[in-house]
Amino acid sequence: MHADLLVIGFGKGGKTLAGALGRQGKRVVMVEQSGQMYGGTCINIGCVPTKALIHRASTRPDDADPRRWYADSVTFTTSLTALLREKNFRMLDSLESVTVVTGTAAFLDEKRVEVTAGDDRLEITADIIVINTGAVPVIPDIPGLRESPHLLTNTDLIASPALPGRVAVLGGGYQGIEFAALLASYRAETTVLESAGRILRREDEDVAAAAEQILRDEGVTFVTGARVSRVGGSAEAAIVHYEVDGGQHTLEVDAVVAAAGRAPNTANLRLDAAGVRLTASGAVEVDDHLRTSRPHIFAIGDVNGGPQFTYISLDDYRIVLDQITGQGRRATTDRVAVPSTLFMTPPLARVGLTEAEARAAGRGVRVAAKPIAAIAAMPRARIVGDTRGLMKFVIDAETDEILGAALLSVDSQELINTVALAMRGGTTASGLRDAIWTHPSSTEAFNEVLATIVG
């Protein structure tokens, strides 16, 4: 089979590119390794199911059994992802010039890719090839962990309707904290083991401390400075062995959640056969236009080592489409003020520099910060019954430029987009402070918080 475009992996950027060129009449082949992954990581094993589970937890009646509610919630998310998966498949399969092939792809050379499924084999040649294979969970190299029947990855966690009663989460970064928040919301006994001195090391200490207190109040236990040495146990329970300040400790749990992040999925692609180079971290090496060491081969999404967000994969699509059919000007360097959200409850949303990063960069900094409970001009938080968290803005002392923000509050996953847009458009802190916002809303908190700027 020959194609104008071959896309390996059904993720956000790849499927959008395949659809765009398919609608232009180009011959497109989309290869996906699993029929359970049409649409990519986000809708099947990432953003959609985890956020659906978190939302469902907040709707549990007080008299509803958490375990039963969890099982029902998993059933709900399974149906939801099945619906979205089918819609994604039909989105491409309905296009006459697009062929969806289910199987495992590996390069034969820089123009030829072999796809296998059982005993079946298909060879595809293509003028343009896009690698969009995403990322896979990282399992820490801890003796006994990989072999433990109690090990769970994010994929395992959202697939089973059985809520573990006692859980150890290995890692206090964004992924670990989101898992911990999810499990605690269903009343699982959750312990986070973090090797550093505190959780959320990329955040300012005051922001991380506020997030930690919220989770402690929800029942999460944190052990920092913990070095996990091995995982043992039996078929009934896991025993996690760890050391803190030279002291030896054990923790008996029903499940061990590995939260060490995700690594680019390149292991089975035989990229060396195509002459495609990898970075030291194992990602596909790309330039600012997402071209690999072979100019007709692109890599988009998590596999290229960039930020692991669905919306970054979508922007990757725009860059590659501009290379193929546009003027070739769009680049990864165009990205400014890209926001992110950690979906605990309430969410922690971030954009730009932290205070520590700004000071380390030599910027003169002023800070505007206030606990949500102390913000009079944010009745929205009281209306929905959640006044936890804080808002913090980092501002250039000379120019009034917004350098960054951390919003730990109700609606922060939406608020942060407004801040990011302001940063991209050059709106100053004073401009955001004096803007007119609807009432009662969460956005109007900006009026009050940004009036507290101190040097």
Q: Which residues have a Cβ under 8 Å from the Cβ of 395 and sit 6 or more positions away?
A: 365, 366, 367, 368, 401, 402, 403, 429, 453
State which amino acid sits at residue 38: Y
What ranges in 275-386 are assigned the alpha helix state H?
310-325, 355-360, 379-383
Bridge partners of residue 348, in order along the sequence: 342, 408
Contact 151, 139 (CB under 8 A): yes
The two three-digit tokens of residue 411, written as one number: 């609606």
Of 323, 301, 324, 298, residue with least CA distance to 312? 301
Catalytic option among 2, 249, 296, 439: 439
439 is catalytic: yes
**Cα gap 350→237, rounded to integer Å:** 37
Q: Which of 57, 48, 53, 44 is nearest to 155 (CA)?
A: 44
Backbone phi, psi, residue 51, to 5°: -70, -30
Which amino acid is present at 255? A
Residue type, 164: P
Q: E strands of 196-279, at which residues?
A: 221-224, 226-233, 238-244, 247-253, 255-258, 262-264
Q: Which residues are tagged catalytic?
A: 439
